[in-house]
Amino acid sequence: MTATILFAARPDRWAEYEPHLRAALDAHGLDYRLGPAFPPEEVDYIVYAPNSEVQDFTPYTRAKAVLNLWAGVEHVAPNPTLKIPLARMVGGGLTEGMVEWVTGHTLRHHLGMDAHIVNPTHAWAPVVPPMASERPVTILGLGELGLACAQALRGLGFPVSGWARTPKEVAGITTHHGPEGLTAALSGAQVVILLLPNTPATENTLNAETLALTAPGAFVINPGRGTLIDDDALIAALDSGQIGHATLDVFRTEPLPPDHPFWAHPKVTVTPHIASETRPGPASAVIAENVRRGEAGAPFLHLVDRDAGY
Neighbours of 41 (CB within 10 A): 11
| DSSP SS3 for 255 | coil
Neighbours of 7 (CB within 10 A): 23
Helix (H) or strand (E) holding 265: none
Q: Which residues are catalytic?
A: 225, 273
Q: Nearest Cα to 64, choosing from 37, 90, 82?
A: 82
Give one word for 123, left, alpha or beta, with left for phi > 0 and alpha for psi -120 to 50.
beta
Residues sharing a CB contact under 8 Å with residue 290, sequence separation 6 or more, in sequence order: 45, 65, 67, 87, 300, 301, 302
Task: Please spell the DSSP secondary structure of 157-226, one letter per residue.
Answer: T--EEEEESS---BTTBEEEEHHHHHHHHHTT-SEEEE-----TTTTTSB-HHHHTTSPTTEEEEE-S-G
Look up residue 261 and give its DSSP letter: H
Sign of CA dihedral 154, 156, 158, 164: negative
Q: Kindly report the backbone phi and psi dihedral angles of residue 262, in degrees, each rounded to the nearest multiple of 5, phi listed first.
A: -60, -35
Radius of gyration of the CA atoms of the chain, in A? 21
Q: Nearest Cα to 183, choosing from 139, 214, 221, 157?
A: 214
Helix (H) or strand (E) holding 104: helix 94-111
Helix (H) or strand (E) holding 46: strand 45-48
